[in-house]
Structure 1
Amino acid sequence: MRRRDDHEEEQAGWLTWLQGQLAERGYDVTSARSGDKTRVSVDAGIAPSTLTRILGGKAPDLEVQVALSRFLGIPLDELLIRTGKATEADFQHSRNESGQTAVSSENALTPEELAVLAGVPRDDREWFVTMVRRLRRAGDAHGSAAGGAAAEG
């Protein structure tokens, strides 16, 4: 059974991690006057009051974690583990031994999805998407799937 102070330490770690993830994406949610809490709410598609509760220490419910997962480009299982809602043992990971996520060739990823999965900073994503599309076109123009396949991951 988990001790109460263990959960509080875990929650503090989650909040620090979340603030770091948001800061990496250009959002300063630690400053009351930055306006970034509102930007995060809008960009992530969650209510401002919900974000305030999360930043105040309340673990988000599943629906909000799904929205945060999509917004941050972080696997949902990682968020569930970080918030203490699940453990690693609760998941069967689709990762190979190198830690990379497996991608099915049946469902090609969009350049935007590739940018998020690759961890491309928000400011560089437009450039990244343009380059992936050019690589795909170059592969198609030369009658080769290699350019497109390489660009798809």
Structure 2
Amino acid sequence: MERSTRATPAQFAEWLRQQLTARGYDLRPRGGGQTKFADDSGIGRATISRILGGHGATDTRVLALLAEALGSPLSEVLVRAGILDATELDAVQNPGTTGRRITPEQAADELGIRDEQARRVFLSMTATLQRETPRKNGEGNLA
């Protein structure tokens, strides 16, 4: 069995902390950055605190709001949050490269996603990613 390459909640927290700090949010105690970002993003302050505390996030609405607030592709947030790893994301975004097309349910089965909540998140995210148009940077590469 392959070892998972998915990000951990602690890695997601560190990534989000870096993203917020780079955007000028003061995350020091009493800095007000968490509250300001919660207000700016529409995500509850307790949820922001939980994510930054390393407790993760799997709610698709929260991850979509987070991507929008950061100006990041939802796909990047999903990988950073540990919902998908880069290989799974590639398989979802490029389903024809394997020589056969499978349904999201079949992909969940093949990936061994059995937990009901994780399966719902995976299926929801797969549907979202299949609708997402890849963005290209100025050099013609996918961003």
Normalising by structure 2, we get a TM-score of: 0.58
Q: CA offset at residue 2 of structure 1?
A: 7.4
Residue 99 of structure 1 aligns with which residue?
A: 141
Q: CA offset at residue 12 of structure 1?
A: 2.3
Q: CA offset at residue 14 of structure 1?
A: 1.7
The amino acid that maps onto 2:29 is A
Structure 1 position 40 matched with structure 2 position 82: no
Task: Tell me the alpha carbon deviations over residues 26-68 of structure 1, each in whole angstroms, 9 at most, x when there is no partner.
Answer: 0022x11101111010001011111111111122221111001
Q: CA offset at residue 99 of structure 1?
A: 2.1
Distance 1:37 1:75, change over 3 A: same
Q: CA offset at residue 87 of structure 1?
A: 2.1
Q: How does 1:100-115 map to 2 (within 5 A)?
A: 100=142
Distance 1:47 1:92, change over 3 A: same
Residue 86 of structure 1 aligns with which residue?
A: 84
What CA distance in whole angstroms lies between the structure 1 residues aligned with 2:9 and 2:56? 8
Report if aligned partners of 2:14, 2:52 keep a CA contact under 8 Å in 1: no
Where in structure 1 are there 5+ consecutive unaligned residues? 102-153
What CA distance in whole angstroms lies between the structure 2 residues aligned with 1:70 and 1:36? 17
**Larger radius of gyration between Structure 1 and Structure 2:** 1
**How many residues are matched?**
98
Between 1 and 2, higher relative CO (CA 8 Å, sep ≥ 6) is seen in: 2
Residue 26 of structure 2 aligns with which residue?
A: 28
Q: CA offset at residue 15 of structure 1?
A: 1.5
Residue 67 of structure 2 aligns with which residue?
A: 69
Where in structure 2 are there 5+ consecutive unaligned residues? 95-133
Misfit runs of 4+, over 6 Å: none
Distance 1:48 1:98, change over 3 A: same
Residue 11 of structure 1 aligns with which residue?
A: 9
Report if aligned partners of 2:10, 2:56 keep a CA contact under 8 Å in 1: no
What CA distance in whole angstroms lies between the structure 1 residues aligned with 2:69 and 2:50? 18
